[in-house]
Structure 1
Amino acid sequence: MLDFHTLAEFSRANCVSICAFLVPANLIATSLTIILTFLQRQIWQTVGIASIFAFVMVLHVYTWFAIGVVMAPTYILLCLAISCLLSNLVAVMVRKYQMNSLRLSNNA
């Protein structure tokens, strides 16, 4: 069974290494999603991976909020994760718009 208290303690104990991985992973995966969107390529895998990284970062930040740590780094990391999630959502909407306009131009 999954023990959330132990998982939260692990997250807080290894904060530097978790953030050292998640910050570049979020930035690279979201940048790749944006690039692939502009190149009109398939983005579904990169959106999924980038969203998982961002969601894990949100959960990591919430473990700090749960014990009452309210500092600038927690808000900065939360804003980064939310902006990555929103960027991926916008990329999905742009890609759907591209696909619909492509279908309409082929039907005409």
Structure 2
Amino acid sequence: MLDFNTICEFSRNHCVAICAFLVPANLVATISTIILTAVRRPAAQVQRVATIGNLFAGVMIFHVITWFMVGVVMAPTYVLFILASTCLSVNCWAMAHPSSMVRLIRGLLALIGFNKQQLASNE
């Protein structure tokens, strides 16, 4: 049976490999959630991708917490914690209230030069 201390040690011993997988996985899953929400895909599809993103973010938060438990307080731990927290927040937002996310995305696109005709032609 797996012991909590064993899991924490594994996490710290394989930090580079874990972070090399989790950082891109978090970013890809969260960006996919944002894109699927922006193009108004069915809620089930958005929730599926957001759940996978939340899983990656949760694992990264646990990984960072294992470093905090042994007293490692450095910039990379904070950066990874903020990244995971942001991804978790965005994924939860997309699942809980996708219409407000769509409004924000459309507003940002309008600010950078897309007009309503271009946005309407993509729907």
Give the TM-score normalised by the residue count of structure 1: 0.86
Q: How many residues align?
A: 98
Which residue of 68, 71, 91 corresponds with 1:65? 68
Query: 4+ residue runs of structure 1 moved beyond 4 angstroms?
Result: none
What is the rounded CA distance, in whole Å, between the counterparts of 1:35 and 1:14 in structure 2? 32
* Within-5 A mapping of 1:41-60: 41=41, 42-60=45-63
Identity of aligned residues (%): 56
| 8 Å CA contact retained: 1:61, 1:78 | yes
Structure 1: which 5+ runs fail to align?
Answer: 99-108
Give the TM-score normalised by the residue count of structure 2: 0.75
Q: CA RMSD in A?
A: 1.5
* Residue 44 of structure 1, CA deviation: 1.1
Q: Which residue of 2 aligns with 1:88?
A: 91
Q: 1:11-63: CA deviations, max 9, x gaps?
A: 00000000000000000000000000001113011011000000000000000
| 8 Å CA contact retained: 1:50, 1:88 | yes
Q: Which residue of 1 aligns with 2:115?
A: none
* SS at 2:40 equivalent: coil
Structure 2: which 5+ runs fail to align?
Answer: 102-123
